[in-house]
Amino acid sequence: MKKSVTSKDVAKEAGVSRATVSYVLNDVKKVKIKPETREKVMAAARKLNYHPHSIARALKTDKSMSIGVVSRRNIAEDRFSIVLRGIKDALKEDKYSITLCSDEEDLNGNREYINYYLAKRIDGVILLSAEEVLSRYDIKKLTSRNLPNVLVDYHLKDEKLNTIDIDYFHGGYIATRFLVEQGYDKIIYFAPAISIPQEEERLKGVRTAISEFDSKVIKFKEVISGQTGNKYMDSITYMLKNKDDYTAVIISWVDAAYKALAEASKLNISVPEDLAVISLAGTHYADLSYPKLSTCDLPLYDIGYESGKLLINKIKMDTQNDIELVQKSLSCFLNPREST
């Protein structure tokens, strides 16, 4: 183990004190350094290839300069890395790093991310939703320990929490409006039988658009699918078989939209001629199907970026009065392809 270069070494090399080295290297404003001294220090640091020991600094300043990103157990696969990249980019400027946390409980029933915080490994936490509810107990733990936090895509507007959400209402709305504008006038909305805020907002968005364009829409119906396994598949087939003279379907889950494309092909339903299909989430594979799937994409990168920036602000403000709440909702965007 090669002994590493410390600020002491740099101080000696530059012929100054360790304090001065710290002042120079951290560019401390309230201390004036003679330009030539500054230069000496810089030169010495460069010569010795000095790297500040971030652990020592963290101990002194009581800031780990790392934030926890918590992915709950059944995290959606491809979404995750996109959101992560957004967070990473947001952290760059302030030189925070990301520590990956789970929400698993240890032997004493404490969640990993809480433990990391108590052990001072992280300064704050971003919680990513995963179709799972955050219990009131967890929320309490979060706030009572005043752990700086932001909740991403949880849609818990009633709580006093910093949140970055996806505007699912808007997604449902623009997808529907798009269909109407394209001339589709008999529309089905196909959604899973699950009562989470995300799906409720989508439904409201769709309904709002439908009623708004009332004069242009002849028929509209809602079909609720099973959630998983065979039920899920079956309800897609059922919906397709009973499409009657409906000309377009909005499908909230992208997997279901894929499946619908496949089933339609089996049933000799041409897309989009017999039935247009649009899903309320995007995916890498949308370009690879036949026909290419039209989607209304989620702002995944953006929710990452925004939540990163927000959390850093919260951490910085933590010493001051932390009164103001931030609750943002980011828009979805249309990506029409061949299926509409």
Beta carbons of 164 and 310 less than 8 angstroms apart: yes
Which of DNA, a copy of itself, none is residue 20 near (CB under 5 to 8 Å by kind)? DNA
- Dihedrals φ, ψ of 243, to 5°? -75, -15
Q: List residues near DNA by CB under 7 A.
A: 3-4, 6-8, 15-23, 25-26, 28, 31-34, 36-38, 50, 52-53, 56-57, 59-62
Nearer to DNA, 51 or 231 (CB): 51
Nearer to a copy of itself, 1 or 32 (CB): 1
Which of a copy of itself, DNA, none is residue 218 near (CB under 5 to 8 Å by kind)? none
Which of DNA, a copy of itself, none is residue 168 near (CB under 5 to 8 Å by kind)? none
Distance CA 317, CA 89 (A): 21
Which of a copy of itself, DNA, none is residue 18 near (CB under 5 to 8 Å by kind)? DNA
Q: Of the candidates 206, 276, 191, which has an alpha carbon nearest to the alpha carbon of residue 236?
A: 191
The number of beta carbons lying within 10 Å of the beta carbon of residue 98 is 16
Task: Give least dist CB 23 to DNA, A.
Answer: 6
Distance CA 159, CA 340 (A): 39
Which of DNA, a copy of itself, none is residue 263 near (CB under 5 to 8 Å by kind)? a copy of itself
Q: List residues near a copy of itself by CB under 8 A.
A: 1, 4, 51-56, 58-59, 62, 64, 66, 69, 71, 75, 77-78, 80-82, 84, 88, 97-102, 115-116, 118-121, 255, 258-259, 261-263, 265-266, 283-285, 288-290, 318-319
Distance CA 30, CA 100 (A): 36
Task: Give least dist CB 197 to a copy of itself, A.
Answer: 24
The number of beta carbons lying within 10 Å of the beta carbon of residue 62 is 8
The number of beta carbons lying within 10 Å of the beta carbon of residue 146 is 9
Q: Is 226 exposed, middle or buried (0-12, 13-18, 19+ CB in 10 A)?
A: middle
Which of a copy of itself, DNA, none is residue 102 near (CB under 5 to 8 Å by kind)? a copy of itself
Nearer to DNA, 1 or 323 (CB): 1
Run of H or E including 295: strand 294-297
Task: Give least dist CB 232 to a copy of itself, A.
Answer: 11
Beta carbons of 306 and 90 less than 8 angstroms apart: yes
Indicate the DSSP class of residue 126. Answer: E
